[in-house]
Amino acid sequence: MVQQEAVIVRNAIKRYGKGQLVLDGLNMTVSRGSIYGLLGASGCGKTTLLSCVVGVRYLDSGEIWVLGGNPGSKGSGIPGPRVGYMPQEISLVGEFSVNGALYYFGRINGLDDEEIETRQKFFSDLLQLPPTDRLVKNMSGGQQRRVSFAAALIHRPELLILDEPTVGLDPILRENIWAYLIQITQKEGITVLITTHYIEETKDANKIGLMRCGKLLAESAPQKLLERFQCSFLEEAFLKLCEVQNNTLNNKVERFKVEDTNSNVLSQNEYERTKVISEYKEVSKRQISRLKIFKALLTKNGMQYFRYYGGLVFAIIFPIIQIFAFIMAIGDDPKDLKIGIVNDEAGTCGSNFSNVWNDEITCHLSNLSCRFLYNFDDSIATQEYYDEVSEASHVVQNGKLSGLLYFSQNFSEALQKRMEDGAFTKDSDLLASQIQVSLDMGDRQIGLFLQMKLFERFLEVYEDIMKDCKYSPKLADPPIRVNMFYILL
């Protein structure tokens, strides 16, 4: 069975949030190969209805059947190549040129480049398009609307939906557009659903629907509507319909009666559903290569990327600045740190030198604290000497020092006994051979940095001592070995 209706809407209800109904039980029928003019004031629900027809939005309740399928369902082709949609807002990519926009929409809808070029030349003459290399963002509003109109038509869709296409256009150009719409409906069988503020503009439509407050007041051929209300202009007929609706809602007059069964006036709530619209289900026959779609999307993204200089700067230069700032602020080692030293063994190490000598019987150590402090140089932290641990601890607590090192009076001697006696070392010697470290962990990164450097430098000094004493340097290594693996998934 061949479906004679391109669009069928039954009992459509739509609201945003908990607000007023935008569509209130609306019924509409658009025949194939015809021009349907949807008229109404701003805010009456025209754009919402069209967005539901193309599958961008969904009804709260009711049914919509478009070209034999439910919009958004698998295989319906809607939204997709079966429909050409020109929204009220200019939705073209600003970085597109005229050529870029038409080639993008042509490719994504399955056209070959040769066919796109032919169609582009035709629309350039018909719509008086700007130069092909002009960017959309550099066009006037009227020029953008003309390019948007051409983009909706480039692939010869079965259903063409135009939301306010002629706003701001020259009257002669408007007449040319209407002449072309009449031509494609008669010769190619394309269905056109158009909304406009210019009521008289739709005199050439096959059928018009007058919409107000989410309802369709009338659905009829323009001439029949004029005859019925005995008017010369459609605007007068629309005014009378609005008055009839107001009176009907206030129960002041009876509902307007209609003799012509081909017209529906104020009868939306009494619409007799004589057809089961699901019987007309059809399957989209147009198949588009995924590779062609991928190519079109890749080209679009490339144009946006390279023609939008702000985005280019943000995508390339900003990450470089971010990395540089991170390295400068966090990535490098901390600078200008201060650490307190209390050395009961050798004071400030001014005239004391660390000595290690081996008499082939034992290894003699002296002033090893100075050797360690010399290795822990100012490149890590500046050393400030104090006489008492309590004094230095007070400065650390006040945040003026990052840490404190304390060496006992017999540090070197105790360390020598620790090396020689091993398991028999006295507890007092074990304690005296330790470097007492206190770190300010209020800034955890600095505290961990100093801790790591202290361990590194102590192990370096300890290995040197092992060499001087003619011991194996491996004795200075901790009894743990870590091997790193980097697994790529």
Kindly state the average pLDDT of the residues 435-454.
Answer: 90
Choose between 201 and 440: higher pLDDT: 440
* Predicted pLDDT of residue 331: 66
Kindly state the average pLDDT of the residues 343-359.
Answer: 71
> Is the predicted pLDDT of residue 259 greater than 70, yes or no?
no
Tens digits of residue pLDDT in 123-136 = 888 888 888 888 88
- Identify which of 166, 157, 223, 161 has the alpha carbon closest to the alpha carbon of residue 193: 161
> Cα(first)–Cα(last) distance of the chain, in Å?
56
Choose between 280 and 348: higher pLDDT: 348
Give the mean pLDDT of the chain.
Answer: 80
Q: Coil, helix or strand for 482?
A: coil
- Range of 13-22, 338-347, 417-426 with top mean pLDDT: 338-347
> Is the predicted pLDDT of residue 150 greater than 60, yes or no?
yes
Q: Which fold has domain 5-82+157-248?
A: Rossmann fold (3.40.50)
* Predicted pLDDT of residue 404: 93
Kindly state the average pLDDT of the residues 385-395.
Answer: 91
Question: Which whole-number Å values give the CA distances from 242 to 14, 215, 216, 236, in the listed order?
Answer: 21, 11, 11, 10
Q: Which residues 6+ apart lie within 8 Å of 100 measured at CB?
A: 299, 300, 303
Q: Coil, helix or strand for 291?
A: helix
Kindly state the average pLDDT of the residues 321-343.
Answer: 84
Domain extents in the chain: 5-82+157-248, 338-475
Q: Which residues 6+ apart lie within 8 Å of 468 measured at CB?
A: 356, 357, 358, 363
- Residues 8 and 4: their CA atoms lie apart, in Å, by 10
Choose between 378 and 360: higher pLDDT: 378
Kindly state the average pLDDT of the residues 107-133.
Answer: 87
Kindly state the average pLDDT of the residues 66-72.
Answer: 79
- Residues 454 and 225: their CA atoms lie apart, in Å, by 95
* Predicted pLDDT of residue 280: 46
Give yes or no for a contact between 40 and 66, defined as CB atoms under 8 angstroms apart. no
Burial (CB < 10 A; 0-12, 13-18, 19+), residue 354, is: buried
Q: By percentage, how much of the chain surpasses pLDDT 70?
A: 87
Kindly state the average pLDDT of the residues 316-338.
Answer: 83
* Predicted pLDDT of residue 330: 74
- Residues 182 and 178: their CA atoms lie apart, in Å, by 6
- Identify which of 213, 415, 266, 436 has the alpha carbon closest to the alpha carbon of residue 343: 436
Q: What is the DSSP letter of 82?
A: T
* Predicted pLDDT of residue 356: 60
| Residue 338 Cα to chain centre, angstroms | 47
> Is the predicted pLDDT of residue 362 greater than 50, yes or no?
yes
* Predicted pLDDT of residue 342: 92
* Predicted pLDDT of residue 231: 79
> Is the predicted pLDDT of residue 146 greater than 80, yes or no?
yes
Q: By percentage, how much of the chain surpasses pLDDT 90?
A: 7
- Residues 39 and 23: their CA atoms lie apart, in Å, by 14
Triad 179, 183, 189: Cα angle to 5°: 145
Choose between 475 and 256: higher pLDDT: 475
Give yes or no for a contact between 53 and 193, defined as CB atoms under 8 angstroms apart. yes
Tens digits of residue pLDDT in 401-430 = 999 999 999 988 888 888 888 788 888 888
Q: Which of 128-137, 231-240, 250-259 has the lowest mean pLDDT?
A: 250-259
Confirm whether pTM is higher than 0.85.
no
* Predicted pLDDT of residue 267: 46
Kindly state the average pLDDT of the residues 170-195.
Answer: 88
> Is the predicted pLDDT of residue 178 greater than 50, yes or no?
yes
> Is the predicted pLDDT of residue 275 greater than 60, yes or no?
no
* Predicted pLDDT of residue 354: 58
Q: Which residues pair with 8 in a beta bridge?
A: 29, 65
